[in-house]
Chains A and B, each alone.
Chain A
Amino acid sequence: MNYKVADIIVDIEFNYKYGVKRMSDYRYEGDRPSDFSVRVTQQEIEESMKRCNDNFPASYHEWMCVYRSLCIKALDYDCLFMHCSAVCLDSQAYLFIAASGTGKSTHASFWRERFGERVVMINDDKPLLRYVDGKFYVYGTPWDGKHHLSTNTRAPVKALCILYRNDENVIERASVGEANFMILNQTVRPENAEKMEKTLYLAGKLLESEPCYKLGCNMSVQAAEVAYKGMNENED
């Protein structure tokens, strides 16, 4: 079965129905041939279950194994996986990045609360980025987190924003080191040397092309206001 993810045609055969169901919005029946195919074996699924030891069913592990394989193959198409919440406001995307448990999804929910229908959730957890003609775009994918918030669309990346918890809401530019570390810790690191080099190349281009901020934020809607203002003032 062919699917279109981040404008790439991927041929995927799932062993379990879960994956087929989750991919239903991304099915592709057009004329383009597939760019690559993804197959996950029972052995890989079992290894993933052993490694994670998290009681999720085999169907879920297949779903995640498929994505990992897809993300690594997609590097050849200037496509980079990023663990983040991608929020689109007025046709421009903001990527909120943080270690798990910091509150990416909660912060994204404040954007929806503050800006209402101006906000489109591109993907709340695992979107894909593509580097096209010197510009990064973020794409919705069906790997979209606990609350299944995603849209099958794309938007140009306006800014990246590293989140950390703080009593007060405060935003500033992230240092080169902070940005590099966070990006490399929130993407897939392929074992294959050539793919790893491509990952470093794309991550570097991302941070050279788009501004990266860091937001100290609390659990209030005001955090969204501070974040938005901080990323829209002092335009270059």
Chain B
Amino acid sequence: MKIKDGFILRQMNSMNIVVAVGDRAAEFNGLITLNETGMFLWNKLVNDIDEQGLVDAVLREYNGVSEDKAREDVVKFTEKLRQADILDE
């Protein structure tokens, strides 16, 4: 899975904000804010990656996180993106 084309992530006034551009702007006119973990996962999802790949990336990045907890966070995050129709799968 990966993030669809047409989204940009930028820091604005100490928040990580995602907006749609190009053709995507016509179908998505909302704003997404990401916390630190969300931004980490978003950046991984810019390129095609599967759930296990994301879990492994979280385990490598954050010390002391259990695999169960990492998977829970990954599933929760990707489910949100799926609901907002932001993922290509």
Q: Which A positions have Cβ atoms within 8 angstroms of B?
A: 176-177, 179-181, 184-185, 189-193, 196-197, 200-201, 203-204, 207-208
Contact A204:B13 (CB < 8 A) given known A177-B33, A184-B31, A193-B8: yes
| Segment among B21-29, B45-53, B68-76 that sits at the interface with chain A | B21-29
Partner of B13, one of A185, A193, A197, A207: A207
Partner pick for A208 among B13, B17, B33, CB 8 A cutoff = B13
Q: Interface on B for A, CB 8 Å cutoff?
A: 8, 10-15, 17, 19, 21-23, 25-26, 29, 31, 33
Is the Cβ of A177 less than 8 Å from the Cβ of B15? yes
Q: Whose C-beta in chain A lies nearest to the C-beta of B19?
A: A196
Q: Could you tell me the distance between the alpha carbons of A189 and B8 in the complex, rounded to whole angstroms?
A: 13
B33 CB contacts on chain A under 8 angstroms: 177, 180
Residue in B closest to A193 when the chains form the complex, CB atoms = B21
Pair B17/A192 contact, Cβ less than 8 Å? no
- Contacting pair A189 B25 (CB below 8 A): yes
In the bound complex, do residue B8 and residue A204 qualify as a contact, i.e. CB atoms below 8 Å apart?
no
Q: Give Cα distance in the complex from A200 to B19, angstroms.
A: 9
The minimal Cβ–Cβ distance linking B33 to chain A, given in whole angstroms, is 7
Nearest-CB distance from A72 to chain B (Å)? 12
Which of B17, B22, B29 makes the CB contact (< 8 A) with A200? B17
Q: Which residues of A contact B14 (CB under 8 A)?
A: 176
Residues of B within 8 A of A177 (CB): 15, 33
Contact of A196 with B21 in the complex, beta carbons under 8 Å: yes
Give the contacting residue for B11; candidates A181, A184, A196, A204; CB below 8 A.
A204
Q: Across the interface, do B15 and A193 meet the contact criterion of CB distance under 8 Å?
A: no
Contacts of A191 in B (CB 8 A): 21-23, 25-26
Q: Which of A184, A190, A193 contacts B17 (CB 8 A)?
A: A184
In this complex, what residue of A is CB-closest to B7?
A: A193
B26: which A residues are within 8 A, CB to CB? 191
List residues of chain B with CB within 8 A of the CB of A203.
12-13
Residue of A nearest to B25 (CB): A191
- Nearest residue (CB) in B for A205 is B13
Contact of A184 among B8, B19, B21, B25 (CB under 8 A): B19
Cβ contacts A to B, 14 pairs, < 8 Å: A176-B15, A180-B13, A184-B12, A184-B19, A189-B19, A190-B21, A192-B22, A193-B21, A196-B8, A196-B21, A197-B8, A203-B13, A204-B11, A204-B13
Given A176-B15, A201-B12, list of 4 further CB < 8 A pairs? A177-B33, A180-B17, A184-B12, A204-B11
Smallest CB gap from B9: residue in A: A200
